[in-house]
Structure formats: structure tokens, C-alpha cells
Amino acid sequence: MSESESQPKKRFPLTLDFVTGLSGRSKTGAHRTHSTQTATRNVNERSANARPLPPPTIVSKPPSPAWVVDRPGHAPLVSEAVRKAMVRRIAQQGIKDAAVLAAMENVPRHFFLEPALASQAYVDTALPIGYHQTISKPSIVARMIELLREGVDGKLGRVLEIGTGCGYQAAVLAQVAGEVYSIERMRPLHELARSNLRALYIPNLRLHYGDGMLGLPQCAPFDGIILAAAGLDVPQALLDQMALGGRLIAPVGQRSQRLKLVVRIKPHEWVADLLEPCHFVPMRPGTFG
Ligand code: SAH
């Protein structure tokens, strides 16, 4: 049976919600955005009209396994296959941790981008998400999570992410950790991440709006802390919130940045290594919005 016979009311162009089967999103109009600027504006408008937001976690059923983006006028993009190809390229770049590669394969990155950018979702590049912020490059997401997991058998325990952005890395982390807490300082991006993640039903992920430089002392200690924005160095508050034996990975520096890996070896002793160069948006103090 052809598609038009089975679903006669379908209109073109198809929305991403329609093709992914996540119809709950299309009802609210969530994520129907057409530029970086409108992405954040729409979030603001939605929040202005919205009922009070529920507590952070949102889950009841697993997402549909079929993630397909198909646009009139473009070659069809079957994102599961394209995502697998991206993960193969990441593995070729040296990421060996099978759990990280599986997590990258599980999370539909295009889902965290506005429709106009969705076709670039599986290119290994950072992309705009509004407010001069970006979704991180997939290979650096994989690299940082692999560093966080080094020496860990099975799942990481409790992990804190600073800089939720659109929520992509938080979703990947949630596949390899028991509990994930993620903080964002920009309210519109916190709301965007909340809206992106709501439809994915991730039970072990909690989003917080606030200044990540202060960490989340009420949920500490953390077995892993990952920073998605670069400061001159790692804030002491975050070092203090690491569990004994816990690991922290952060971009540090201004124009020239490097990844810094910190391990807490004793209550008052941390060891740190400076690793490869990287490029992240700056970490800023306080909140916005
Ligand atoms: N984790 C994202 C990347 C987000 S970009 C991903 O999945 O791709 C970095 C984010 O860090 C931005 O959204 C920025 O607003 C946020 N940020 C910068 N300083 C921060 C701070 N002090 N606390 C929390 N978030 C911060």
C-alpha cells in the first residue's frame, strides 16, 4: 500500500514529528522552528503561554526506534543509517569504548537541531542552537565521555554536566551513566533542552537552570563531571563536588584551549593532565533570562 493510501490526510512538506512518529511534539508546536533566532524566540513564546513546567524528569515509554528524516526536494536521509556511519567515522578517529559508541548510535542528534539544520546532524561539526551557543561536535562528545569512563567497568554512577545547551550530550551521557544532572545558565536553552528531551523519555536525566560554576552541591558527590564550556580553569566548587576516585573533564583556556582531565585521588588531592587542543564556547558566570 502506498503512503498516500494509508494516510490520506498527510500534507507536504512533512514535519519532523510526523516522520519520526513523535506526534506529541507537533501538538504543542514544540521544536517547529526555522532559524537559530526563531528557535529561541519560539521557546520564549512557548514558555510565556505555557502552564507551569513539571519537575525535571519525564519518562514512561521508550522512543520509537525509527528515526527518519525525509524532505521533499532532498535525497531522503535515513538517519539511523547516517548516524551509524557517523559513529563508524568516530571509531576510526580512535574512540574505542563500545558503550560510548553504542550511546552515540542510540541518540538521534538531528532531533536536537532545528529542521533547517537537521540534514547536517551527522556531520562531525558543531552547529548553532541559538544565543551564540552550539551543539558540540559529536567526536568531542564521544572523546570526553570516553575519558570520563576510563577505568570504569559497566556504567558510570552519578554524572554532572555543565552547559546543557540543547540537551544532546546529556542524552548521550544518560546512556552510559546511572544518573545524569545537567545545568544550563541560559533559561531559553534550558527550556529548549527540556522540550527536546521530553519526547525522548530519558528516566535518569535531570535538568537544572542555574550557574554551573557553582555545581550542584545538593546532588554531590559526582563520579564524573563534564564541562561543555571553557573557563580559564576548573572552578574549585566543582573539584569539591567530585567523589573520591571521581573524574572531571573540561576544556580550559581562552583562545587556545585544551582538554583537562582531573582525578580526585584523596579528599584533598587531585591530579590533572592537560590533553589535546579543543574549541568550546566560553563558560560564563551567573544566569541569563
Ligand atoms: N552540552 C551541549 C553543548 C552546549 S554549548 C551539547 O550537547 O552539545 C555550552 C553551553 O554551556 C551553552 O549553552 C552555555 O550557555 C552553557 N554555559 C556556559 N557557562 C555556563 C555556566 N556557568 N553554567 C551553566 N551553563 C553554562
Binned at pLDDT 50, 70 and 90, residue 154 comes out as confident
* Mean of all residue pLDDT scores within the chain: 81
Task: Please say whether the beta carbons of 110 and 122 come within 8 A.
Answer: yes
Binned at pLDDT 50, 70 and 90, residue 4 comes out as very low
pLDDT 10s digits, 188-220 = 999 999 999 998 999 999 999 999 999 999 999
For residue 201, what pLDDT is reported?
93
Residue 12 has pLDDT above 90, yes or no: no
Cell of 184: 544550563
- Give percent helix, percent strand, percent coil of the chain, each to the nearest 5: 35, 25, 40
Residues 6 or more apart in contact with residue 241 via CB below 8 angstroms = 160, 215, 216, 217, 220, 221, 222, 225
Residue 212 identity (one-letter amino acid): G
> Which one is predicted more confidently, 263 or 22?
263
Gap from CA of 231 to ligand 1 centroid (Å) = 11
Is 212 touching ligand 1 by the criterion CB < 6 Å? yes
Cell of 12: 507536504
Binned at pLDDT 50, 70 and 90, residue 77 comes out as low
pTM to 2 decimals? 0.79
- Read off the pLDDT of each residue in 17-46 and give the average, rounded to a whole number: 38
- Read off the pLDDT of each residue in 4-24 and give the average, rounded to a whole number: 36
Determine the residue of 133, 192, 209 to mutate for testing ligand 1's pocket, defined as the one with the most ligand atoms within 8 A of the Cβ atom: 133
For residue 65, what pLDDT is reported?
38
> Which one is predicted more confidently, 60 or 234?
234
pLDDT 10s digits, 123-138 = 999 999 999 999 999 9
Domain segments of the chain as ranges? 130-278
Gap from CA of 176 to ligand 1 centroid (Å) = 20
Segments in the chain forming alpha helices (H): 3-6, 16-20, 23-28, 36-49, 79-92, 98-106, 115-118, 138-149, 168-176, 187-198, 236-240
Classified as helix, coil or strand, 137 is coil
- Ligand 1 atom at minimum distance from 136 CA: 8
Is 168 touching ligand 1 by the criterion CB < 6 Å? yes
Q: Sign of the C-alpha dihedral, residues 77, 87, 171, 168?
A: negative
The correct CATH number of 130-278 out of 3.20.20.70, 1.10.1200.10, 3.40.50.150, 3.60.20.10 is 3.40.50.150
Distance of CA 96 to the CA centre of its chain: 20
CA–CA separation, 270 and 29 (whole Å): 47
- Read off the pLDDT of each residue in 71-85 and give the average, rounded to a whole number: 65
Gap from CA of 148 to ligand 1 centroid (Å) = 18
CA–CA separation, 233 and 202 (whole Å): 31
Binned at pLDDT 50, 70 and 90, residue 153 comes out as confident
pLDDT 10s digits, 83-111 = 999 999 999 999 999 999 999 999 999 99
Residue nearest to atom 19 of ligand 1 (CA): 283
Determine the residue of 135, 180, 186, 207 to mutate for testing ligand 1's pocket, defined as the one with the most ligand atoms within 8 A of the Cβ atom: 186
